[in-house]
């Protein structure tokens, strides 16, 4: 269960343990990102099947397929992009926290909030602004593989690049609001139903 104490004193749970309080906005945003991430995770099984078929075809039947090879790349990239936000919600992304243990919970929350607002969100926004025209151009020209036997509709995969980053941005906004709840008690902390999430901040879809 989540401790609804959102004060910034040293007795509060450490944000590093992903025990930041949940608010209504972050709860709904997290549920959206987690639902997309879990749905996209099924693509890994499809990637495995495509790779096995391609390997069997190439080495057992001596009939390699450029289309299958490209499909495995595209599915791999799509699965990766659509699950990045899920990693942020679950706090499973890579962190470099050499000094983290020396900080108080309040200091950790401040540093995380500043990092999200001043660094992560602006960079993600710049990447999205660059990738949207990239994907849009592919849609306009109905871009396909340059290989004669490659895949058509490459614009579908290119559209997954900005879309995946949009979900990362949503997850970061949710995380930032949880920091403000911890630091400033705004938005107000809530206690989500225990059967709707696996652990703190990890909602089930």
Q: What is the pLDDT of residues 22-67, one digit of tens each?
A: 999 999 999 999 999 999 999 999 999 999 999 998 888 878 788 8
Q: Name the least confident of 16-25, 32-41, 159-168.
A: 16-25
Distance, in Å, from the CA atom of 60 to the CA atom of 70, rounded to the nearest integer, reads 19
Most confident region among 50-59, 82-91, 167-176, 184-193 by mean pLDDT: 167-176
- Helix 154-184 / helix 105-115 crossing angle, nearest 10 deg: 140
Distance, in Å, from the CA atom of 88 to the CA atom of 30, rounded to the nearest integer, reads 9
Residue 202 has pLDDT above 50, yes or no: no
Residue 205 has pLDDT above 60, yes or no: no
Angle (CA) 64-48-147 rounded to 5° is 35
**Could you check whether the bond before residue 187 is cis, i.e. omega within 30 degrees of 0?**
yes
Quote the pLDDT of residue 137: 94
Which residues, other chains included, contact 26 with Cβ-Cβ below 8 Å and sequence gap of 6+? 174, 175, 177, 178, 181, 187, 201
What's the pLDDT band for 178 if we cut at 50, 70, 90? very high
Q: Which residue has the higher pLDDT, 174 or 149?
A: 174
Strands 22-23 and 189-190: antiparallel
Quote the pLDDT of residue 17: 40
What's the pLDDT band for 184 if we cut at 50, 70, 90? very high
Over residues 102-130, the mean pLDDT reads 94
Average pLDDT, whole number, for the chain? Answer: 84
What's the pLDDT band for 9 if we cut at 50, 70, 90? very low
Distance, in Å, from the CA atom of 8 to the CA atom of 162, rounded to the nearest integer, reads 35
Asked whether the beta carbons of 177 and 187 are under 8 A apart, the reply is yes
Distance, in Å, from the CA atom of 59 to the CA atom of 44, rounded to the nearest integer, reads 22
Residue from 201, 163, 177, 187 nearest 36 by CA? 163
């Amino acid at each position: 269960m989540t401790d609804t104490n959102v004060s910034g004193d040293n007795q509060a749970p450490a944000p590093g343990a992903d025990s930041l309080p949940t608010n209504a906005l972050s709860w709904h945003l997290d549920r959206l990102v987690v639902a997309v991430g879990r749905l996209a995770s099924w693509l890994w099984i499809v990637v495995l099947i495509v790779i096995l078929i391609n390997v069997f075809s190439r080495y057992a039947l001596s009939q390699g397929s450029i289309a299958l090879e490209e499909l495995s790349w595209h599915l791999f990239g799509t699965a990766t992009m659509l699950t990045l936000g899920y990693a942020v919600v679950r706090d499973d992304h890579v962190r470099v926290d050499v000094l983290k243990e020396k900080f108080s919970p309040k200091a950790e929350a401040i540093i995380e909030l500043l990092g999200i607002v001043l660094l992560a969100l602006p960079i993600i926004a710049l990447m999205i602004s660059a990738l949207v025209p990239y994907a849009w151009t592919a849609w306009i020209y109905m871009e396909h593989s340059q290989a004669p036997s490659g895949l058509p509709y490459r614009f579908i995969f290119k559209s997954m690049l900005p879309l995946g980053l949009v979900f990362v941005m949503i997850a970061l906004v949710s995380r930032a609001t949880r920091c403000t709840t911890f630091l400033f008690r705004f938005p107000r902390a809530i206690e989500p139903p225990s059967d709707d999430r696996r652990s703190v901040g990890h909602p089930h879809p």
